[in-house]
């Protein structure tokens, strides 16, 4: 059990997204849940579904994670309505398949704003309280693209941004370890979500799956279960780690 703590999951509004799966997995362990998403209505739907399914307290807030004022406002709502924040899952992110020679400066900056700055702002807002209380779990959503250099779904901008999160996680793990706060990453491979649905032609998807040792795409639950494991109080000796969730498509 989580001793009546709250977990924040960003980007958890999408009905078939990894974030929603993570919210359910954490609620299943007894966490109260705060759902933050750019789409406020979707965030509310997820929070209601989580509360109904697991009997925990859940709140939602519309939040642009790239906006410091919006982040502060959303977290303030969480702090006023739920027990102390014990976990943060930085799931909000965007992909970009645009080749490097074609990517615009604006697209490059936007990918970094959402994936890197968003995770930075959310983490900066909540980890001080975690460190003061002597307990915290931060999990950042990276990607296999960061480790193998793209070639899955995202281009150079996406791979670079997600690689940035790995360095961020490792360095922060060293800094916050003495305070009882762990910081870890997960790096999913090909996962069946709304992001990939309909955007991969069947032939390419079949070819990708044929190259995965487990011979299937990942499920949202494959990622959510690992994130929930990393957030457990009992996982306090795991920090600075990257968990690869790719069915063996990238072994290193």
Cβ–Cβ under 8 Å, residues 249 and 214: no
CA angle 32, 217, 148 (to 5 degrees): 95
3-state secondary structure string across 63-95: CCCCCHHHHHHHHHHHHHHCCCEEEEEECCCCC
Q: What's the gap between Cα 222 and its chain centre?
A: 13
Q: In terms of C-beta density within 10 A (0-12 exposed, 13-18 middle, 19 or more buried), how is residue 103 classed? A: middle
Query: Alpha-carbon distance 135 to 86, whole Å?
Result: 7
Distance separating alpha carbons of residues 243 and 155, to the nearest angstrom:
21
Closest CA to 111 of 123, 97, 94: 94
Residue 118 and residue 92 in contact, taking contact as beta carbons nearer than 8 Å: yes
Catalytic one among 120, 158, 237, 243?
158
**What's the rounded Cα separation, in Å, for the pair 48 and 43?**
9
Can you tell me the distance from the alpha carbon of 227 to that of 22, in angstroms, rounded to the nearest whole number?
Answer: 7
Cβ atoms < 10 Å from Cβ of 70: 17
Give me 246's structure tokens. Answer: 């790719």
158 classed as catalytic: yes
Residues belonging to the active site: 158
């Amino acid at each position: 059990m989580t001793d009546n703590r709250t977990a924040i999951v960003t980007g958890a509004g999408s009905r078939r997204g990894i974030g929603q799966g993570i919210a359910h997995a954490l609620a299943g362990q007894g966490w109260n849940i705060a759902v933050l998403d750019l789409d406020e209505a979707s965030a509310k739907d997820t929070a209601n579904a989580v509360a109904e399914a697991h009997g925990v307290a859940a709140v939602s807030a519309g939040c642009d994670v790239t906006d410091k004022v919006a982040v502060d406002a959303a977290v303030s709502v969480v702090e006023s309505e739920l027990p102390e924040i014990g976990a943060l899952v930085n799931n909000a992110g965007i992909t970009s398949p645009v080749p490097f020679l074609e990517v615009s400066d604006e697209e490059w900056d936007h990918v970094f704003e959402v994936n890197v700055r968003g995770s930075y702002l959310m983490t900066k807002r909540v980890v001080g309280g975690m460190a003061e209380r002597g307990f915290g779990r931060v999990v950042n959503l990276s990607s296999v693209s960061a480790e193998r250099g793209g070639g899955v779904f995202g281009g150079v901008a996406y791979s670079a941004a997600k690689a940035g999160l790995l360095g961020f996680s490792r360095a922060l793990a060293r800094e916050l370890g003495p305070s009882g706060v762990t910081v870890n990453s997960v790096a999913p491979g090909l996962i069946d979500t709304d992001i990939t649905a309909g955007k991969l032609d069947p032939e390419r998807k079949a070819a990708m799956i044929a190259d995965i040792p487990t011979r299937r795409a990942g499920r949202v639950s494959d990622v959510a279960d690992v994130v929930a494991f990393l957030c457990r109080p009992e996982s306090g000796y795991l920090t600075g780690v990257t968990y690869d969730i790719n069915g063996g498509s990238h072994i290193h």
